[in-house]
Amino acid sequence: MEKLYYSIGETAELLGESVTLVRYWSNYFDALLSPKRNARGNRYYSPEDLETLRQLHYLIKECGMTLDGAGARYKSDKAEISRRLKVLDTLGGIRQELEEVRKSL
């Protein structure tokens, strides 16, 4: 079952990045993200925020784009980025299954 909100630590772990980087991106892309805050000021990210961060992560880390470039590309072509990430996830799952079959032989 999908959670309603993810802490910044959980979000960083899911992205494979540091909490500091997620916090920085959250501040930098404040127009694209809307994390909720509790009384102590801790950020909590919705699944939509998490998907946005995942797409930005792909553009910055995998495609080598600058922060400004990634933000502009995200705004102009969100559907295409989402489609590419789904394809990459599917291929990653297939690769994992093939590696398990290879180990069992």
Q: Give burial (CB, 10 Å; 0-12/13-18/19+) of 4.
A: exposed
Q: How far apart are CA 92 and CA 84, in angstroms?
A: 12
Minimum mean pLDDT among 39-43, 71-75, 77-81: which range? 77-81
For the record, the structure tokens of 11 come out as 């979000």
Q: Write the pLDDT tens digit of every residue in 3-37.
A: 899 999 999 999 999 999 999 999 999 999 999 99
* pLDDT of the residue at 81: 84
From the candidate CATH numbers 1.10.3720.10, 3.30.930.10, 1.10.1660.10, 3.40.630.30, the one assigned to the domain spanning 6-104: 1.10.1660.10
Tally of CB atoms within 10 A around 65: 17
